[in-house]
Amino acid sequence: MFTGIIEAVGTIKAININAQGARLVIATNSLDMNDVNLGDSIATNGICLTVVDFDQHSYSADVSNETLNRTGFAHYNVGMQVNLEKAMLASTRFGGHMVSGHVDGVSEVLSIVNNGNSIEYWLSMPNDLAHYISEKGSVTIDGTSLTVNALSDSRSEGKFRLTIVPHTVKETIFAHYKVGTKVNLEVDLIARYLERLLTKESSSDVAVPKSNVTESLLQKAGFIK
């Protein structure tokens, strides 16, 4: 589990393609590696990767073909910079929101407007993920926890706006974004699970427990007036 608060910006040192996917070597730059162990998770541009080898200045991680197909990793090159965050501790200050590191899709930067004290980014909203994205809700872009400030007037346009302060741009890879840049998108974790719970249809061979809660009982308890 992660918070979406980026700890450092790393650099891709190597991408070794194999039949199962690829092995990445990431230079960690300012990321503190003193408490990292084999098997630990490090979110790399929002993707939860398992450390299979490391030293004080880099780590290696395997990326499956499934991950390559569902994320922006297929477009990455050696020398590209990536956002890094180690898995959160129980004592970690929760500055962002709950981030799983499981990317839901790829979004595209549509426009960038510099307003001086902030920068506005409009990003595309994949049709199958649009209903998870709401104004003032949370999204994760390349591992960064952000607030959606606006949606397009027409849902069919499929875009949303992020307003980023200069500090966030400086401490992440947002400064490298251009119109057309592909980014990893993770929608709000709670919204995903709520949809699953609310839309789940009962199986015909599974007994569904009946509820004793009725409208009259709710009225007596004062929940309905």
Query: Alpha-carbon distance 194 to 2, whole Å?
Result: 20
Cβ atoms of 29 and 21 within 8 Å: the answer is: no
Please give the model's pTM, rounded to 2 decimal places: 0.84
In the chain, list all ranges with CATH 2.40.30.20: 8-86, 105-199
Q: What is the pLDDT of residue 101?
A: 93
- From 3.30.460.10, 2.60.40.290, 2.40.30.20, 3.40.50.300, which CATH number describes the 105-199 domain? 2.40.30.20
Query: Alpha-carbon distance 45 to 117, whole Å?
Result: 25
**What would the two tokens of residue 176 be?**
């490298």
Q: Which candidate, 163, 21, 3, 185, places its Cα nearest to that of 87?
A: 3
| Length reported for the chain | 225
Q: What is the pLDDT of residue 206?
A: 56
Query: Alpha-carbon distance 49 to 52, whole Å?
Result: 9
CATH topology of domain 8-86: Elongation Factor Tu (Ef-tu); domain 3 (2.40.30)
Tell me the per-residue pLDDT of 173-208, one tens digit each, with 9 for 90 and over: 999 999 999 999 999 988 888 888 887 764 555 555
What single letter denotes the amino acid at residue 111?
S
pLDDT of residue 131 exceeding 60: yes
Cβ atoms of 63 and 24 within 8 Å: the answer is: yes
**What would the two tokens of residue 153 be?**
């007037």
Supply the mean pLDDT for the chain: 89
Cβ atoms of 139 and 148 within 8 Å: the answer is: yes
Tell me the per-residue pLDDT of 100-124, one tens digit each, with 9 for 90 and over: 999 999 999 999 999 989 999 999 9
